[in-house]
Amino acid sequence: MKHPPRFAILSVPDANGIARVSAAEAHHMRDVMRLKPGDAVTLIDESGATWSGAISAFDRDGADVRIAKVDSAAPRPVLILAPAIVKGPRMDFIIEKAAELGATELWPIVCARSVGKPPGREKTQRWSRLATAASKQSLALPPMRVSEPRPFTTLLQSVPRDTLPLICSAGAEPIAGRIRKMRPQAMLIASGPEGDFESTEMDSALAAGFAPVGLGPNRLRSETAAIAALAIAAQWQAERT
């Protein structure tokens, strides 16, 4: 059965069961998807709540959707990807693919060997939009949340309770074996920048309780390592859902 197309909203439907869709999302509805009043859609807010309804009307500032029912989805196990920030479109690639693969959160980290300046709020907001769009397209609920960038030292102090922290390290025990052995309730995966983590960073991570995990014998680019680790962990997530 084909799913109705999904669109993001910033606030819940009103007391009359009408949800307001932004001009940008309405443009996608009408001009890209070629949808018309009466067509079925699904709406998603930032918390992952979803509603089924039908387009009521378009106007210059957006669109109205009349809600038919509230949907519910089983919560996914927490799977946090903490990649070192890399330059340009490669970071966009990490964010989009992480959202598609089912990461629940993405924590960009600034490491000693990170290239370029930490991104400002405008770029972080853009990353959040990319994550929402990718989550919507891939039917991943709730949409992956992108946090503000944080220094590597802050990451070590931020691991949520009952979460297994892993850090990618060449030559370490394969990540799949570590996950099978530990059987975690939730997971955080840190992956390094170009040039990898500095030895002092790795030592600090191990002292903070991070377990080193490997991704095979080949040398991987930063974005490849982040997505490879997440793809393996996503299987664990699917088995727990």
Residue 74: predicted pLDDT: 59
Q: Could you tell me which of 202, 193, 201 has the C-alpha nearest to residue 226?
A: 193
Q: Could you tell me which of 58, 52, 13 has the C-alpha nearest to residue 35?
A: 58
Residue 194: Cβ within 10 Å count: 15
- Report how far residue 193's alpha carbon sits from residue 71's, in angstroms, rounded to the nearest whole number: 39
Cβ atoms 169, 126 nearer than 8 A:
no
First vs last C-alpha separation in the chain: 21
Residue 138: predicted pLDDT: 74
Strands (E) in 47-191, as ranges, are 50-59, 62-71, 79-83, 105-106, 109-110, 145-146, 150-151, 164-168, 187-191
Residue 199: Cβ within 10 Å count: 9
Domains of the chain: 6-71 (2.40.240.20), 79-240 (3.40.1280.10)
| Structure-block tokens of residue 43 | 């709406």
| Sole residue written with tokens 């443009």 | 27
- Report how far residue 53's alpha carbon sits from residue 45's, in angstroms, rounded to the nearest whole number: 14
Residue 48: predicted pLDDT: 66
The per-residue DSSP string of 190-229 comes to: EE--TT---HHHHHHHHHTTPEEEB--SS---HHHHHHHH
Residue 30: predicted pLDDT: 94
Q: What is the mean pLDDT of each run of 10 residues along the chain (241 residues)?
A: 78 87 91 94 78 92 89 76 92 94 94 82 88 78 87 96 95 93 94 93 97 92 94 83 61
Residue 224: predicted pLDDT: 94
Q: How far is CA 195 from CA 48, 81, 188, 199, in A?
A: 36, 19, 21, 11
Q: Is the dihedral of CA 179, 190, 206, 174 positive or negative?
A: positive
Contacts of 195 (CB under 8 A, 6+ apart): 113
| Structure-block tokens of residue 29 | 């509805």
Q: Could you tell me which of 208, 81, 84, 106 has the C-alpha nearest to residue 152?
A: 84
| Sole residue written with tokens 């769009």 | 133
